[in-house]
Chains A and B, each alone.
Chain A
Amino acid sequence: MGKHILRINNVGMTFETLNHTPLRVLNSITCTIKEGQFAVFLGPSGCGKTTLLNIAAGFLKPTDGEISLDSVPVTGPGAERGVVFQSGALFQWLTVFGNAEFGLKMRGIPEAERKEKVNFLLDLVGLGNFKEYPIYKLSGGMRQRLALVRSLVNDPFIILMDEPFGALDAFTRDQMQMMLLKIWKQTGKMIFFITHNVEEALFLGTDIYVMGPAPAEIKEQFTVDFSVNLETSDTRKIKSDPEFIRLREEILSHISLETG
Chain B
Amino acid sequence: MMRENYKYGDISSTSGKRIFSFISIIIILIVWIILCELKIVPELFWPAPSSVVKQFVQLTVQGYKGHTLFGHIGISLYRVMAGFLSGSVLGIFVGMSMGINKKVRAMLDPVIELYRPVPPLAYIPIIIIWLGITDVSKITLLFLASFAVIVINTRAGVQSVPLEKLRAAYSLGARPKQVLRFVILPNAMPGIVTGMRVAMGVCWGTLVAAEMVAANSGIGWMVLNASRYLRTDIVIVGIIVMGALGYGLDVFLRYIEKKVFPWRGY
Q: How far is the CA of A154 from the CA of B174 in the complex (A)?
A: 11
Whether B167 contacts A154 by the Cβ 8 Å rule is no
Whether B182 contacts A92 by the Cβ 8 Å rule is no
Q: Provided the pairs A57-B171, A106-B178 are in contact, do residues A92 and B164 lie with their beta carbons within 8 angstroms?
A: no
* Residues on A with beta carbons closer than 8 Å to the beta carbon of B187: 93
Q: Provided the pairs A57-B167, A91-B186, A93-B187 are in contact, do residues A103 and B173 lie with their beta carbons within 8 angstroms?
A: yes
Asked if A89 is an interface residue, CB under 8 A from chain B, the answer is yes
Q: How far is the CA of A83 from the CA of B164 in the complex (A)?
A: 10
Prevailing SS type, chain B contact patch: helix
Which chain B residues numbered 166 to 195 have a C-beta less than 8 Å away from chain A?
A: 167-175, 178, 182-183, 186-187, 189
* Residues on B with beta carbons closer than 8 Å to the beta carbon of A77: 167, 170-171
Whether B165 contacts A89 by the Cβ 8 Å rule is yes
Whether B167 contacts A134 by the Cβ 8 Å rule is no
Whether A79 contacts B165 by the Cβ 8 Å rule is no
Asked if A102 is an interface residue, CB under 8 A from chain B, the answer is yes
Whether B172 contacts A150 by the Cβ 8 Å rule is yes
Contact with B along A78-107 (1 / 0, CB 8 A): 110111010101111110000000110011
Whether B168 contacts A106 by the Cβ 8 Å rule is no
Interface size class of A (residues with CB under 8 A): 20 to 34
* Residues on A with beta carbons closer than 8 Å to the beta carbon of B175: 106
Asked if A120 is an interface residue, CB under 8 A from chain B, the answer is no
- Please give the number of chain B residues whose Cβ is less than 8 angstroms from any Cβ of chain A in the complex: 22
* Residues on B with beta carbons closer than 8 Å to the beta carbon of A58: 171
Asked if A59 is an interface residue, CB under 8 A from chain B, the answer is yes
Q: Which residue of B lies closest to A98 (CB)?
A: B182
Which residue of the partner chain, among B162, B172, B189, B263, contacts A135 with CB atoms under 8 Å? Answer: B263
* Residues on B with beta carbons closer than 8 Å to the beta carbon of A107: 173
Q: Which residue of B lies closest to A108 (CB)?
A: B173
Q: Of residues A59, A91, A103, A107, which shows the largest number of chain B Cβ atoms within 10 Å of its Cβ?
A: A91
Could you tell me the distance in whole angstroms from the C-beta of B33 to the nearest C-beta in chain A? 48
Whether A103 contacts B162 by the Cβ 8 Å rule is no
Asked if A151 is an interface residue, CB under 8 A from chain B, the answer is yes
Which chain A residues numbered 48 to 95 have a C-beta less than 8 Å away from chain B?
A: 57-59, 76-79, 81-83, 85, 87, 89-94
List the interface of chain B (C-beta within 8 A of A): 162, 164-165, 167-175, 178, 182-183, 186-187, 189, 261-263, 266
Sample of 30 A–B contacts (CB below 8 Å) = A57-B167, A58-B171, A59-B171, A76-B170, A77-B167, A79-B171, A79-B172, A82-B171, A83-B167, A83-B168, A83-B171, A85-B168, A89-B167, A91-B169, A91-B183, A91-B186, A92-B266, A93-B187, A102-B182, A103-B173, A103-B174, A106-B172, A106-B173, A106-B175, A106-B178, A106-B182, A107-B173, A135-B263, A136-B266, A154-B173
A94-B186, A102-B169 known, 8 other contacts, Cβ within 8 Å = A77-B170, A82-B171, A85-B168, A87-B164, A93-B186, A93-B187, A106-B182, A107-B173
